[in-house]
Amino acid sequence: MIHLCSSDALAEGQSRGFLVDSLSLFIVRKDGQVYAYRNRCPHRGVGLQWQPDAFLDDSASLIRCATHGALFLIDSGECVAGPCAGQALQALACREDAEGIWLMPADQTGEY
């Protein structure tokens, strides 16, 4: 497990980006739940943010790709508008406990 941040460092309706080894990822808090995704648009393979830690649309209800405006659901990563509609962001396993928010290995080898 890799500690990403304390729980209070990610407020409701906010996002934060991280670079873990060579993995670019971001987390979002919605309805008290934390979601983690690889920072890579399925359309062009580019990072999603338009400024550091800015992964959400103006209403903070959808993830938005700054390159071409694709919109993704926060709770599933599914693209609901834009050139990659029907595709999805790659979800990453995370958990939150009293010590903060953690990135979990995707498999037994410890790879993320």
Nearest one of 4, 3, 16 to 63, comparing CA atoms? 16
Query: What CATH number matches the domain at 2-103, 2.102.10.10, 3.40.630.10, 3.40.50.1820, 3.30.420.40?
Result: 2.102.10.10
Q: Spell out the per-residue pLDDT of the chain, length 112, in tens.
A: 999 999 999 999 999 999 998 999 999 999 999 999 999 999 888 899 989 999 999 999 999 999 989 999 999 999 999 988 889 999 999 999 999 999 998 765 566 6
Res 46: pLDDT: 87
Is the Cβ–Cβ distance between 97 and 53 less than 8 Å? Answer: no
Q: At 5, which amino acid appears? A: C
Nearest one of 33, 30, 31, 32 to 55, comparing CA atoms? 30
Res 111: pLDDT: 66
Res 68: pLDDT: 86
What count of other Cβ atoms lies within 10 Å of the Cβ of residue 110?
A: 9
Res 106: pLDDT: 75
Please, is 36 exposed, middle or buried when counting C-beta atoms within 10 Å of its C-beta (0-12, 13-18, 19+)?
A: buried
